[in-house]
């Protein structure tokens, strides 16, 4: 049984927004790994460049000469070596030549092929001795900002976490119940609502931020009462998109907030709605604001950095030194390789930052992040609540839980 790479293929496929992305197939003598890369809409400025600067088609044409010969023959278990080779082929410091989406898809597909060569699932191959823990799913309920139309709320994502769930099946069905209930409550509030959804499968209503917050919180309470599973509200503000250089402009409310006012606004929302998790409360370069907010509310709410850290261990180190946030979003294509992703997760865990493995707004039916979340021991996974490209990951978690001998939900 050999896990030497025998073949590697690349193809252009659709993502959930109808845009092009890449998929990689890796074949070894006794294994196979296929991974497709996602894409963001509200990307962090310091992410690696997602697609090759020359364009996907040119890269695909050059792939058989430029990439394939460098990887064929390498042992698929040597993931760090593979990632080093990819960086060398790329030759830039932001992966703009090959594209971080191409490198991440190769890196993850190699790991999958290695796992498959040993006939074990990826989460086991990467996780070694597992704690047998399943992450709680952060489900996306209402979409705004860059993920929805112009009359939707300014806040990008209204999320929920079923913290009282006993297993993943209970958790994903609790989330889908909240999603349904929120749809019903929106229709009561706005009788002209046509049922539209945003990029991540949450509803895209014509609602103010506060109306959306009230509906989110009411649905959490109702479903918690009806099912006995405690469901808590959460948010991703993605406010770099709202920042005009001196203020956060909430155009849906006709209100602007400077940094101090933004921090007060977030504190008030966390208190009023008992938020469990708030992602990117401030713009991506405001370490000081993140530190101040974490100092003030970090004992009662998870303050998570996405665009600020971009899954980069060097940037996370700066955040740790300054006490900015207490959790980090992990998106492998923000950093471009599995080994760099792993390094960031380890740094986070060693410093008590909660790693939250996440999808992107543009997704495919690839399910790899479900395996990564389990392998990394991430207590939370952010991957929507409904929609084909979102349930691909959730249903995979249900299968993973079924395979585990003694599964339990993660601990924070």
Catalytic, 150? Answer no
User: How does DSSP assign 88-132, residue by residue?
Assistant: HHH-SSS-TTT-HHHHHHHHHHHHHHHHHHTT--HHHHHHSS---
DSSP summary character for residue 290:
H
The residue annotated as part of the active site, out of 23, 47, 133, 200, is 200
Residue 245 tokens, joined: 């250089």
| Residues 329 and 308: beta-carbon distance below 8 Å | no
Q: 42 or 262: whose CB is closer to ligand PGA?
A: 42
Q: Which residues bind ligand PGA (CB under 6 A)?
A: 40-43, 236, 238, 306, 358, 360-361
Could you say which of ligand PGA, Zn ion, none residue 358 binds, taking C-beta under 5 to 8 angstroms by partner kind? Answer: ligand PGA
Residue 29 tokens, joined: 């003598």
Could you say which of ligand PGA, Zn ion, none residue 361 binds, taking C-beta under 5 to 8 angstroms by partner kind? Answer: ligand PGA
Catalytic, 331? Answer yes
Nearest residue to ligand PGA, scored by beta-carbon proximity: 40
Residue 18 tokens, joined: 């109808």
Could you say which of ligand PGA, Zn ion, none residue 41 binds, taking C-beta under 5 to 8 angstroms by partner kind? Answer: ligand PGA
Instruction: Rule CB under 5 A: choose which of 236, 367, 389, 401 binds Zn ion.
Output: 236
Query: Residue 52 Cβ, how far from Zn ion at the closest point, in Å?
Result: 24
Draw the binding track, 93-122, toward Zn ion (x: CB under 5 A; -: no contact).
Answer: ------------------------------
Task: Check binding of 200 to Zn ion (CB under 5 A).
Answer: no
Q: 26 or 159: whose CB is closer to ligand PGA?
A: 159
Could you say which of Zn ion, ligand PGA, none residue 231 binds, taking C-beta under 5 to 8 angstroms by partner kind? Answer: none
Q: 77 or 307: whose CB is closer to ligand PGA?
A: 307
Could you say which of ligand PGA, Zn ion, none residue 3 binds, taking C-beta under 5 to 8 angstroms by partner kind? Answer: none
- 43 Rama sector, left if φ>0, alpha if ψ -120 to 50, beta otherwise: beta
The burial class, CB within 10 Å (0-12 / 13-18 / 19+), for 371 is: buried
Could you say which of Zn ion, ligand PGA, none residue 159 binds, taking C-beta under 5 to 8 angstroms by partner kind? Answer: none
Residue of 151, 14, 3, 143 whose CA lies nearest to 72: 3
Q: 27 or 361: whose CB is closer to Zn ion?
A: 361
H-helix or E-strand spanning residue 173: helix 168-189
CA distance 89 to 93: 11
The residue annotated as part of the active site, out of 87, 112, 197, 331, is 331
Query: Residue 331 Cβ, how far from ligand PGA at the closest point, in Å?
Result: 7
CA distance 281 to 296: 13
Q: How many CB atoms lie within 10 A of CB 82?
A: 27
By rule CB under 5 A, what count of residues binds Zn ion?
Answer: 3
- The Cβ-side half-sphere exposure at 306, using a 13 Å CA radius, reads 29
Q: 126 or 159: whose CB is closer to Zn ion?
A: 159
Query: Residue 40 Cβ, how far from ligand PGA at the closest point, in Å?
Result: 3
Q: 157 or 211: whose CB is closer to Zn ion?
A: 157
- The Cβ-side half-sphere exposure at 91, using a 13 Å CA radius, reads 6
Q: 33 or 332: whose CB is closer to ligand PGA?
A: 332
Query: Residue 198 Cβ, how far from ligand PGA at the closest point, in Å?
Result: 10
| Residues 28 and 6: beta-carbon distance below 8 Å | yes
Instruction: Rule CB under 5 A: choose which of 306, 367, 396, 401 binds Zn ion.
Output: 306
Could you say which of Zn ion, ligand PGA, none residue 23 binds, taking C-beta under 5 to 8 angstroms by partner kind? Answer: none
Which residues between 156 and 185 bind Zn ion (CB under 5 A)?
none
Count how many residues are written for the chain. 412
Instruction: Select from 170-178, 202-210, 232-240, 364-372 the region that touches Zn ion (CB under 5 A).
Output: 232-240
Instruction: Select from 98-106, 285-293, 300-308, 311-319 the region that touches Zn ion (CB under 5 A).
Output: 300-308
Could you say which of Zn ion, ligand PGA, none residue 389 binds, taking C-beta under 5 to 8 angstroms by partner kind? Answer: none
Active site residues: 200, 331
Residues found near Zn ion in the complex (CB under 5 A): 236, 279, 306
């Amino acid at each position: 049984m050999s896990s030497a790479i025998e073949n590697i293929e690349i193809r252009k496929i659709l993502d959930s927004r109808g845009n092009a992305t890449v998929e990689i197939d890796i074949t070894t003598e006794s294994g196979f790994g296929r991974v497709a890369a996602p894409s963001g809409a509200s990307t962090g400025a310091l992410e690696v460049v997602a697609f090759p600067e020359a364009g996907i088609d040119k890269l695909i044409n050059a792939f058989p000469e430029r990439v394939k010969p460098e990887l064929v023959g390498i042992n698929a278990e040597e993931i760090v070596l593979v990632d080093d080779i990819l960086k060398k082929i790329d030759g830039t410091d932001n992966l703009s030549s090959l594209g971080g989406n191409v490198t991440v898809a190769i890196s993850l597909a190699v790991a999958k092929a290695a796992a498959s060569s040993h006939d074990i699932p990826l989460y086991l191959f990467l996780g070694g001795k597992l704690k047998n823990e399943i992450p709680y799913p952060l489900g996306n309920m209402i979409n705004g900002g860059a993920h929805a139309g112009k009359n939707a709320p300014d806040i990008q994502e209204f999320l929920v976490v079923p913290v009282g769930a006993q297993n993943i099946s209970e958790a994903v069905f609790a989330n889908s119940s909240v999603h349904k209930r929120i749809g019903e409550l929106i229709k009561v509030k706005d009788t002209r609502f046509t049922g539209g959804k945003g990029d991540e499968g949450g509803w895209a209503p014509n609602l103010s931020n506060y109306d959306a917050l009230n509906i989110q919180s009411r649905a959490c309470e109702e479903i918690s009462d009806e099912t006995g599973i405690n469901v808590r509200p959460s948010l991703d503000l993605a406010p770099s998109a709202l920042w005009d250089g001196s203020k956060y402009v909430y155009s849906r409310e006709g209100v602007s907030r400077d940094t101090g006012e933004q921090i007060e606004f977030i504190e008030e929302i966390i208190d009023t709605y008992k938020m469990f998790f708030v992602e990117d409360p401030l713009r991506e370069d405001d370490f000081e604001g993140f530190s101040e907010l974490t100092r003030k509310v970090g004992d009662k709410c998870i303050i998570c950095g996405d665009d600020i850290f971009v899954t980069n261990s060097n940037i996370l180190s700066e955040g740790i030194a300054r006490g900015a946030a207490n959790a980090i979003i992990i998106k492998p294509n923000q950093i471009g390789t599995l080994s760099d992703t792993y390094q960031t997760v380890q740094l986070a865990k060693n410093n008590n930052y909660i790693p939250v493995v996440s999808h992107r707004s543009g997704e495919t039916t690839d399910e790899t992040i479900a395996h990564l979340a389990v392998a990394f021991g991430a207590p939370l996974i952010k991957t929507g609540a409904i929609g084909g490209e979102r349930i691909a990951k959730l249903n995979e978690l249900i299968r993973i839980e079924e395979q585990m001998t003694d599964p339990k939900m993660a601990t924070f």
